[in-house]
Amino acid sequence: MRKIISLFCFLLPVLAFAGQPDNTAQIRSDAPDQYTVVKGDTLWDISGKFFKDPWKWPHIWGMNKDAIKNPHWIYPGQTIFLDREHGTLSIGKSLSDGVNADNVIKLSPEIISEKGRQDAIPSIASKVIEPFLSEPLVISNESLAGSPKLVGVPDERVIVGPGDVVYATGLSESQGKVWQVFRPGKTFTDPDTKEVLGREAVYLGSINVNKFDHVSTAVVTDAKLEINVGDLLVPPSAPTPLTYLPRAPERQINATVISIYGGVTQAGQDSIITLNKGARDGLQNGNVLAIFSKGRIVNDDGKPLALPDVRSGLIFVFRVFDKVSYALVMNTRMPVQLMDRASTP
């Protein structure tokens, strides 16, 4: 652990957000004046202790746009203070400790002990989404056509596991020795335009290449599911960081739930869902969307009548591809179903 000299400027953007009613988050009636962070906390949970809308990060934490995408690290043992007048949170000291009668923040150098990033609390519970951050999930039809593949094993078997030698074609040494094995799954199709958005890639395991050649030799290093001759290969993608903070999209997003991970038809809290919108539509990692359940169909004088859609909860977008995105259901009052609607809250 090293020590650095730093200006404690975390509170500086707070005043910039004062008086912006669109961003105002309602303080909970039972909100404490302060809270000490403990291991296992998330930024979402902490904000939820103070505010009814914990996703309204910019106002709650007094951050500007850049700070939201590259937030200050928050660690167990630090104290979070609530400023009821401005409706914001601050770290390490009460706002009144550094503000004079003219509402001018007094900044002064102080010693801060810098901890490792692995000790920082995440935005949301990472254990639920970590398996989805480095494994292939969506691949285009164009990529499928040219994907390297497993072509055989030394004996007559077609199913292999950890420690087994396999042979593959199409591997490039420039892309590294580690490759992930996948099998094409369901095809994602936009329910409105009928455009093919991609294929879900079912992650099977990994191999390590011993010798590159026209037919390369490799060893299976891990297998989550059965690996077969004929399965496809892809270089591992860079893990998506867990340091982003929840925020509303910068533009209006209107998306549809096109899949629920695991092959089920309904999703509850902590479930993973797929949306028919992605990076090309303006979605980013960390965006929060409101989820709407379809209104019931009732009988109106013998004719079916659709009631308005009902806002049921919030979802957190954590991995974005070009045309689709994966989101975590943060909370919901009713089951999330296929074809439910998600939009900018």
DSSP string, 113-182: EEPPGGGSPPSS-HHHHHHHHSS--EE-HHHHHT--EEEE-SSS-SEE-TT-EEEEES--GGG-SEEEEE
What's the average model confidence in pLDDT over 289-311? 90
Q: Pull the structure tokens for residue 319.
A: 């991995």
245-274 confidence digits (pLDDT tens): 788 898 999 999 999 987 788 999 889 999
Alpha carbons 115 and 263: distance in angstroms, whole number? 41
Q: Pull the structure tokens for residue 297.
A: 């169909």
Q: How many CB atoms lie within 10 A of CB 307?
A: 11
Between CA 204 and CA 31, with CA 268 as vertex, the angle to 5 degrees is: 120
Determine if residue 134 is left, alpha or beta; phi over 0 gives left, psi from -120 to 50 gives alpha, anything else beta: alpha
Q: Is 241 helix (H, G, I), strand (E, B) or coil?
A: coil
C-alpha 247: how far from chain center: 11
pLDDT value, residue 71: 58
Which residue ranges does the chain devote to CATH 2.40.10.410? 254-343
Residue found by looking up tokens 């042979």 in the block: 167
At 66, phi and psi to the nearest 5?
-70, -40
215-245 confidence digits (pLDDT tens): 999 999 999 889 999 999 999 877 666 556 7
pLDDT value, residue 1: 38
For residues 145, 148, 149 and 155, what is the CA-based torsion angle, rounded to 10 degrees?
A: 150
**Which of 135, 232, 150, 146 lies closest to 184 in space, CA to CA?**
232
Entry pTM:
0.76
Q: Pull the structure tokens for residue 223.
A: 């297998």
What's the average model confidence in pLDDT over 312-321? 93
Query: Considering only the top CATH level, what class is 254-343?
Result: mainly beta
Q: Are 74 and 57 in contact (CB under 8 A)?
A: no
